[in-house]
Amino acid sequence: MKRLRVLAIPVAAALVLGAILLLATGTDPLAAYGAIVSGAFGPDGIGDTLAYAVPVAGMALALAIPLRAGMVNLGGEGQLVLGAISALAVGLYVPGPGPVKVVLALLAGVLAGAAYAALAAVCENRFGVPLLVSTLLLSYPAMSLAGYLVRFPLKDAGSSLPQSPQLPEGTRLPELGGVTTGIFLVLAVIAVYAVIDARTPAGFETKVTGWAPRFAVYAGIDRPKLTVRLLAASGGTAGLVGAIAVLGFPYRFIDGALITPQYTWIGLLAALLAGASPLGTLLAAVFFAALTSGGFAMERATQVPRELTAVLQAVLIIFLAATSGVFRRKARRA
Amino acid sequence: MIDASLFSSALTALTPILFAALAGALCRRAGVFNISLEGSLLVGCFGAVAGSWYTGSAWIGVVVAVIAATAYSLILAIGSITFDGDPIVLGVASNLLAVGLTSFLIRTVFGTEGSFSDPALRGLGQFGPLPGQSLLVYLSWLAVPALAVLLYRHPWGLRLRGVGERPEAASSLGVNVTKYRYGVILAGGALCGLGGAQLALGSVTLFAENLTAGRGWIAVVAVMLGRAHPLGVLLAALLFGLAEAFGFRLQGIGLPQQATDAAPYVVTLVALFLSNVKRKKGQPA
Amino acid sequence: MTPPNPEAVSLRGIVKRFPGVLANDQVDLDVGAGEIHALMGENGAGKSTLMSVLYGLHRPDEGTISLHGEEVSFGSPAQAIDAGVGMVQQGFALFGELTVTENVVFGSEPTRRGLLDRKAATARVTELIERHELRLRPGDRVRDLPVGLRQRVEILKLLYREADVLILDEPTAVLTPPETDRLFGVLRTLAAEGRTILLVSHKLQEVLAVSDHVTVLRDGRVSARGRTADQTAAGLAAAMTGREVDLDRVHPAGTPGDAVLEARSLTVPGPEGKPLLGNVSLTVRAGEIVGVAGVAGNGQGELSGALSGLLKTDGEVVLKGQSLAGLSVRARRDAGLAHVPEDRAEVGSAPVASLRENLAVGFHRRKPLVRKGFLRRKAIDDHASAIIDAYDVRASGPAAAMGTLSGGNQQKAIFGRELTHDAPFLLVEQPTRGVDVGAIENIHARLVAHRDAGHAVLLISAELSEILALSDRVLVLFEGRIVAEFTKAEADQHNVGLAMAGGAG
């Protein structure tokens, strides 16, 4: 109940601001909003929403894991892309039967993302570069590397675009009604995260670190080790999302295709908003995914650019951050 | 390999970063963690192009950029100071808002998708003796000593640093912490506006979705590397600009563009390593 | 000079309420010019609230404030400063990165052509330092100054602003006895110039030594007032606590057994070749409380860190025959170390988390809280309830956020958690700082009972009376070294106090 009340003002504010923008472009706000809702959840749109929710929820989860301990991983994009390109390389070049290759490709994605994120943790532990910065700085070279690979060694010879060839027929994740079966992998990882978070000593230590870092160290929690583990889990999840992305439609790596839709940043916001709680992060991510797919439907129905929903989303979060600050301050005073 | 044109292209590359990093340093000094520099730069870029396009004057474009980015930085100011919201959430969200809003506006205002350029769009043009450098480039260099004087020779700077170190102590001496923090965020917005104008009307003459491409984030790192001192920030931005220009040069001898794209980030990371190692040696504990 | 009447400061009928607390209830306070007036009372008696009202940090709900017969009303400290009222707060309001001069002029800087006039600022500050014999160097960075000198910077700030009413909140808490004497010398000089000094303190001897008049608060009301010359220590103590107090209550000595903890040559290097902790060796035996006395900042933090493993140090620590060299905090705890840290809010607990979760920390990897790798909710609840009951922690329940508890109850909860480990060695730092009287007695009794159950206890405290009341042996830390050791029989205020100031041979 209280959560709902917290949501009311930001939602209203975002809707009003959106309405103003819509009126400025000469569009009926009600029609546009209707198109968003039916586009997101209607029979035609729900598939799009789910398809978009897979990478967003996956990245949200990836970034939620360290966030639970108060650590911000800003390098999700690099880990995502590295996971994708590693999975693709395995899928293209490792011999063997299709299903085995799919599993190996997924594993390669997880390992690549995990190792790369752990490297950022080592930068903090050994060289004193704050995690926020080390993750961010490492992200760019990873994206450059992937961009290089799909332009030269892994390039699709038959195309002028910076993209890889398609994975062969057998080396793909099947689709169910337009949604990759990778969705089950993402759901499984969320379930595992939820159980670890709520019921295990490791999850408890992560939360204690998030509540009060110095208390955690005093109580005997090894922060450097925890940082490496959380970042590896985070990067591994991001890498898995990347692997799922290339193993699903269009079954290839296209330079920028995982960056331009802002999966990582939207995922980070979902995790930040939900305080990295497993269920909350999932709900927030699905909500943002619905907004985005609704935005495409709105553009088709009303000619209003779909970026409007990105604006709505950001405005919503800004108001939510501001009003939750007010609530926090009241709680502190009491 | 190393000649005047290398420095010239380094200069071009570093100016937007320098403006944004100075903004970040100012905020940091007053205890504000500002990661919305990327968004402010992008809004500045858009404002500059829109202003220049509608009036036919690049300088009015600069003014519009400054106004737009300053107004935009109000989000962080109001959200984090007046409403005590989390500056990281607000920073990430306002960066996303900048991408969404400028992409929305480029389509509704200019009617194109992705990027907008037009032969009629006025760029800043060359000023002074250096080839290809606009007036804003010189201004960014002047801003370094100006900020240093403000921070270390003016009562405002003294108070601002006090606000950053111990806000409650500053407040007990009658210094209005809220006012100073609003001041630095808005001034930072204005600086980002100048940086955005240089990027969109000086370095190139166009607006594109996500034109800033992480420069605001590099500025965040430069603030850290330069210890939030104007001169340190200049050196950090210079390092980055040189690495970028040098990388660009290496492409000429056959290295792929992506390898050299990554160079500035790697160089920055190494510089952070080294500066930390040196600090550890200097302090025994 | 201002005539003695009307009074320099006059508070009438001050009432200040906070949610659930009546902090000041119809308090009157009159202070003449040129007078040192002591305001006494225990933690939570309302002293700090009353002074915050006078200094403009809080507005009173009822009552009036007059300065030299003129009624005033302050909405902020800045207005109080303008009216000549200045306050040195306990935590100090200084900027470590700035110099003495910058700290002093901060907020009302001299300028020339729009820029800071450093010359004028330095000249003015130098003049004030010399006139009041404060012995400071204007160019020193405050970060590098010892606490005694920082306090003088605070006083200098008030003088620069021409305050004629100076409030000092527990100014001697961080000072050695000689530094305290020098401070009192400065205060007497200032009073002789006609300034009014309000000294907030709970230390009887100090108040009797330095003040002209005294007002005692208890539970938000005035419980005694008068000329200091007419007061006795016992009478003031009774007025503070509301009952007869045994001022020198000392717990009976324990019966020490075998050595539990042995530390050898603990060393932490410091700046300019002066170690923060220099070659410290000590032994704590079963059934013994060893007190470590010393003014804050003389190596206590480093000693605690060396033992707990929070700080990497040279030297050797052996616990129950096991060397702790190179072991992590967790391994040390497993080897038999429990620890009540100095900083309750940041190190000893997570204020945002519930009491239940706070109490589970440290037990969360073992039976019965864990079974087959999973945490058991019921076991966590039972564990928390058991500690809450046994240690008399007053809270709305195990789900209450730690931060909503009073300081005393937070400390009782932390004590409960750490004593429940039943570890052979207990490290305790500042166990009663900021804790109300009832809880102090409770905590002291617990510590003694813990000792009598055969545990070894190392008690680090800046409160000399606490050290003397509890310790079987007293070690004195000064500038990172143990400079003196006393048996329970030898230790008293005078000789331990002298050693704390570096005056031991």
Nearest CA in chain B to C113: B154
Residues of chain A with Cβ-Cβ distance to C404 below 8 Å are: 334
Taking the C-alpha atoms of residue B153 and residue B147, their distance in angstroms, rounded to an integer, is 10
CB C175 within 8 A of CB C147: yes
A307 and B107 in contact by Cβ < 8 A?
A: yes
**Residues sharing a CB contact under 8 Å with residue C382, sequence separation 6 or more, in sequence order:** none
Taking the C-alpha atoms of residue B282 and residue C84, their distance in angstroms, rounded to an integer, is 44
Using only C-alpha atoms, what is the Rg of chain C? 25
Q: Is C66 helix (H, G, I), strand (E, B) or coil?
A: strand
Distance from B110 to chain A by nearest Cα, in Å? 12
Pairing label, strands C288-293, C473-478: parallel
User: Helix/strand/coil (H, E, C) string of C389-430?
Assistant: HHCCCCCCCCCCEHHHCCHHHHHHHHHHHHHHCCCCEEEEEC
pLDDT given for residue C340 in this prediction: 96
Taking the C-alpha atoms of residue B79 and residue A3, their distance in angstroms, rounded to an integer, is 19
Query: Quick check: A2 pLDDT over 60?
Result: no
Show the tokens assigned to C52: 């915050």
Pairing label, strands C314-319, C259-268: antiparallel
Residues of chain C with Cβ-Cβ distance to A226 below 8 Å are: none
Q: Which of residues 131-190 of B touch C (CB under 8 A)?
A: 149, 153-155, 158-159, 161-162, 165-166, 168-175
Q: Which of residues 57-116 of C touch B (CB under 8 A)?
A: 76-78, 81, 89, 92-98, 102, 105-109, 111, 114-116
CB A59 within 8 A of CB A76: yes
Residues of chain B with Cβ-Cβ distance to C86 below 8 Å are: none
C239 CA to centre of own chain = 22
Nearest CA in chain B to C92: B169
In angstroms, what CA-CA distances link C238 with B255, C216, C241?
85, 10, 5
Q: Taking Cα atoms as reference points, which of A78, A80, A56 lies closest to residue A267?
A: A56
Taking the C-alpha atoms of residue A254 and residue C84, their distance in angstroms, rounded to an integer, is 71
CB neighbour class for C96 (10 Å; exposed up to 12, middle 13-18, buried from 19): middle
CB neighbour class for B47 (10 Å; exposed up to 12, middle 13-18, buried from 19): buried
Distance from C92 to chain A by nearest Cα, in Å? 22
Instruction: Give the model confidence (pLDDT) of C281-291 as tens digits.
Output: 999 999 999 99
Q: Could you write out the DSSP letters of every residue in A94-123? A: --S-HHHHHHHHHHHHHHHHHHHHHHHHHH
Mean pLDDT confidence for C246-262: 80
Residue of C95, C144, C156, C352 to mutate, interface with B, max B Cβ within 10 Å: C95
CB C318 within 8 A of CB C324: yes
In angstroms, what CA-CA distances link C13 with C64, C66, C199?
7, 12, 20
Helical axes C377-390 vs C407-420, angle rounded to 10°: 110
Distance from C350 to chain B by nearest Cα, in Å? 19
Q: Is B7 helix (H, G, I), strand (E, B) or coil?
A: helix
pLDDT given for residue A334 in this prediction: 33
Pairing label, strands C473-478, C481-487: antiparallel
Residues of chain C with Cβ-Cβ distance to A200 below 8 Å are: 373-375
Show the tokens assigned to A249: 């439609």
A307 and B75 in contact by Cβ < 8 A?
A: no
pLDDT given for residue A1 in this prediction: 43
Instruction: Give the model confidence (pLDDT) of C378-420 as tens digits.
Output: 999 999 999 999 998 988 889 999 988 888 889 999 999 999 9
Query: Quick check: C354 pLDDT over 80?
Result: yes
Q: Is C219 helix (H, G, I), strand (E, B) or coil?
A: coil
C116 and B172 in contact by Cβ < 8 A?
A: no
Average pLDDT of the residues of chain C: 88
Residues of chain C with Cβ-Cβ distance to B174 below 8 Å are: 76-78, 81, 107-108
B104 and A311 in contact by Cβ < 8 A?
A: yes
Distance from A225 to chain C by nearest Cα, in Å? 12
Query: Quick check: B237 pLDDT over 70?
Result: yes
Calculate the dihedral angle through the C-alpha atoms of A214, A216, A218, A219, rounding to the nearest 10 degrees. Answer: 160
A148 and B103 in contact by Cβ < 8 A?
A: no
Residues facing C290 on adjacent strands: C458, C473
Taking the C-alpha atoms of residue B207 and residue B107, their distance in angstroms, rounded to an integer, is 12
Residues of chain C with Cβ-Cβ distance to A214 below 8 Å are: 343, 346-347
Query: Quick check: C170 pLDDT over 90?
Result: no
Q: Among residues of chain B, what percentage have pLDDT more than 70? A: 96
Q: Could you write out the DSSP letters of every residue in B217-272? A: HHHHHHHHHTTT-HHHHHHHHHHHHHHHHHHHHHHTTT--HHHHHHHHHHHHHHHH
Taking the C-alpha atoms of residue C284 and residue C467, their distance in angstroms, rounded to an integer, is 15
Please name the amino acid found at residue B177.
V
Taking the C-alpha atoms of residue C462 and residue C293, their distance in angstroms, rounded to an integer, is 6
Q: Is the sign of the CA dihedral B264, B266, B269, B270 positive or negative? A: negative
Backbone phi, psi, residue C444, to 5°: -60, -45
Show the tokens assigned to C104: 């002093």
pLDDT given for residue C249 in this prediction: 64
B86 and A145 in contact by Cβ < 8 A?
A: no
Select from B162, B168, B284 the Cβ nearest to the Cβ of C270: B284
CB neighbour class for C159 (10 Å; exposed up to 12, middle 13-18, buried from 19): buried
Q: Does B269 touch chain C (CB under 8 A)?
A: no
Q: DSSP character for A175?
A: E
Query: Quick check: A181 pLDDT over 60?
Result: yes
The model's confidence at residue C437, banded by pLDDT at 50, 70 and 90, is: low
CB C93 within 8 A of CB C57: no
Residues of chain A with Cβ-Cβ distance to B104 below 8 Å are: 21, 305, 307-308, 310-311
Residues facing C474 on adjacent strands: C291, C486
Query: Quick check: A135 pLDDT over 80?
Result: yes
Q: In what order do the strands lie in the sheet with C481-487?
A: C337-340, C425-429, C456-460, C288-293, C473-478, C481-487
Q: DSSP character for C276?
A: S
Taking the C-alpha atoms of residue C92 and residue C171, their distance in angstroms, rounded to an integer, is 10
Select from B80, B92, B261 the Cβ nearest to the Cβ of A269: B92
Show the tokens assigned to C152: 């003088």
Taking the C-alpha atoms of residue C140 and residue C127, their distance in angstroms, rounded to an integer, is 16
Nearest CA in chain A to B111: A305
Residues of chain A with Cβ-Cβ distance to B83 below 8 Å are: 321-323, 325-326
Instruction: Give the model confidence (pLDDT) of C91-129 as tens digits.
Output: 778 999 999 999 999 988 999 998 999 999 999 999 999
Count how many pairs of residues, chain A against chain B, have C-beta atoms within 8 Å: 143
Instruction: Give the model confidence (pLDDT) of B1-53 as tens digits.
Output: 567 777 888 888 899 999 999 999 999 999 999 999 999 999 999 999 999 99
Q: Taking Cα atoms as reference points, which of B88, B185, B217 lies closest to residue A321?
A: B88
How many CA atoms does the CB half-sphere of B108 hold within 13 Å? 21
Helical axes A46-67 vs A278-302, angle rounded to 10°: 140
CB B171 within 8 A of CB B13: no
Taking the C-alpha atoms of residue A194 and residue A207, their distance in angstroms, rounded to an integer, is 12
pLDDT given for residue B2 in this prediction: 63
Q: Does A332 touch chain B (CB under 8 A)?
A: no
CA angle B17–B22–B28, rounded 5-degree value: 120
Nearest CA in chain B to C158: B173
pLDDT given for residue C142 in this prediction: 92
Show the tokens assigned to A260: 């331009």
Select from B154, B161, B172 the Cβ nearest to the Cβ of C93: B172
Q: Does B31 touch chain C (CB under 8 A)?
A: no
Residues of chain B with Cβ-Cβ distance to A314 below 8 Å are: 93-94, 96-97, 100-101
Instruction: Give the model confidence (pLDDT) of B153-198 as tens digits.
Output: 999 999 999 999 999 889 888 889 999 999 999 999 999 999 999 9
Select from A141, A273, A322 the Cβ nearest to the Cβ of B266: A141
Q: Taking Cα atoms as reference points, which of A42, A39, A43, A55 lies closest to residue A257?
A: A55
Helical axes B4-29 vs B135-153, angle rounded to 10°: 40
Taking the C-alpha atoms of residue C416 and residue C340, their distance in angstroms, rounded to an integer, is 10
Q: Does A72 touch chain B (CB under 8 A)?
A: yes
- Owner of token pair 């032969």: B119
Q: Does C270 touch chain B (CB under 8 A)?
A: yes
Nearest CA in chain B to A308: B104
Mean pLDDT confidence for A114-136: 94
